[in-house]
Chains A and B, each alone.
Chain A
Amino acid sequence: MDCYEFKSQLSEFCEDELSVPARKRFILHRDECPECADLLTEFQSALRAIHSLPRLSTADDFNQRLRERIDQEVSVTFWQRLQNFISGSALPRYVVATAFVLVGLMVGMRYLGLEGPAPQSVQPPVESPELNVQQPMNQQELLDQVSTMTADSLDTNQVLQPRNPRSYEAQIQYVKSRQ
């Protein structure tokens, strides 16, 4: 055993955790090396010192103070918690406070409906196929439309067909009879 190995086994020797052969080698080195023998004496002395430190007790009113603190914490308000959070945060207080104010403003604006204008769509509006369905004219509408026409401008294919293809023939008849 060398001095380095001896040093690394000091705790195990003092706590009686070395195996029998390892313990024999340890003792053999201690008897041969006066420096390591002194080190062991100092080491054991330091261990005794730390083990002999007095044990402290908590104050008599410890439990009572703890109960009061727990009761106080349980009844703490949301704002106090928020305040504690801000004061206990690792970030600078002004950063946390600014973040809270910004979030509050955003939530408030949303709540009050004060959001900015919705972005304009670049897509052309897509018409629903239902909107292209032509509703048939009633009789009054048909009469009103036809009465505004002159014979020269009459193009039945353009004017009448798309509006009411099913009554196309009847409309032609009606227009001709009026002329």
Chain B
Amino acid sequence: MADFMEKYSDEELIARFQEGDEYAFEEIVNRFKDRLKNFVYRYLSNEEAAEDVVQETFLRVYQKKHMYRNIAKFSTWIYTIAGNLAKTELRKRKRRKMYSLSNLGLEDKDYEIPSEDFPPEGAVEGEYTEQEIQAAIDELPEKFKTVIILRDIQELSYEEISNIVNVPVGTVKSRINRARLKLQEKLRHLRQSRIERE
């Protein structure tokens, strides 16, 4: 059945699913689950939370399938859902973090608790570790983070990103350039502080 479904475009699959074809939904899940997980993971820096958000995204697609209209690409629609859920989750996590920090006593703040969100550290590009790159992404403002993940990790076109974030293509281009400049600056600082520590 999977081979049979491969010939369909994303839009044809969702149309079939809207007519009740469950195999089409299964194919949609198989096509998008890894892409969405990478997108959400780079947003949240937590693998378990990312997988939960991706599950929630597919659940929304399942429940709201009739809300998709074939005026935009299906990938745009599903990325928009995943992006919104990821933003909500990120805000919740920030609030929880702020709450737990505010509950700590002054003397407790001296202890540094190692983050378990990151996978084991490893050199990625040679100059920077994955942890450094992820930390730099995490520090970006939300609007820069979204576009840089969509462009440089998801490799979406400017037009698709424009539809997802709902701003003109020109704005997307300049925003991506500014996001990369900020990322480069943060990476440089992280590398400098690493060298100083060593």
Decide if A56 touches B184 in the complex (CB within 8 Å). Answer: no
A62 at the interface (CB under 8 A from B): yes
How distant is the Cα of A50 from the Cα of B42 in the complex, in angstroms? 11
What is the minimal beta-carbon distance from B126 to any residue of chain A, in angstroms? 9
The answer for the CA separation of A45 and B184 in the assembled complex, in Å, is 8
Given A54-B124, A63-B26, are A69 and B51 also a contact pair (CB < 8 Å)?
no
Given contacts A11-B173, A58-B33, A66-B55, 15 further A-B contacts (CB under 8 A): A8-B174, A11-B177, A39-B184, A42-B184, A46-B180, A49-B133, A50-B153, A52-B125, A53-B133, A53-B134, A55-B38, A56-B37, A62-B33, A63-B30, A73-B63
Contact A70 B33 (CB under 8 A): no
Would B34 and A53 count as touching, CB distance under 8 A? no
Q: Is the CB of B184 within 8 A of A51?
A: no
Interface residue B78 (Cβ < 8 Å from any Cβ of A)? no
B174 touches A46 (CB 8 A): no
Cross-chain contact B180 with A47 (CB below 8 angstroms): yes
| Known contacts A46-B184, A69-B59; A57/B34 CB under 8 A | yes
In the complex, which residues of chain B have a beta carbon less than 8 angstroms from the beta carbon of A52?
A: 124-125
Contact A56 B173 (CB under 8 A): no
Say yes or no: A49 contacts B187, CB within 8 Å.
yes
Q: How far is the CA of A57 from the CA of B173 in the complex (A)?
A: 29
Number of residues from B at the complex interface, CB < 8 A: 39
- Report the count of interface residues on A (CB-CB < 8 A): 31
**A119→B148 CA distance, assembly (Å):** 65
A-side binding surface: helix, strand, loop or mixed? Answer: helix
In the complex the two chains form, what is the Cα distance from A58 to B63 in whole Å? 21
**Cβ of B37: which chain A residues have Cβ within 8 Å of it?**
56-58
Nearest CB in chain A to that of B132: its residue: A49
CA gap between A134 and B63 in the complex, in Å: 70
Tell whether A56 pairs with B41 under 8 Å between CB atoms, given A42-B188, A49-B125.
yes
> Which of B58, B125, B176 has most A Cβ within 10 Å?
B125
In the complex, whether A43 has a CB less than 8 A from a CB of chain B is yes
- Which of B125, B137, B177 is within 8 Å of A48, CB to CB? B125
In the complex, the answer to whether B125 meets A45 with C-beta atoms within 8 Å is yes
Known A-B contacts A42-B188, A50-B183; the reply to A62 vs B133 at CB < 8 A is no
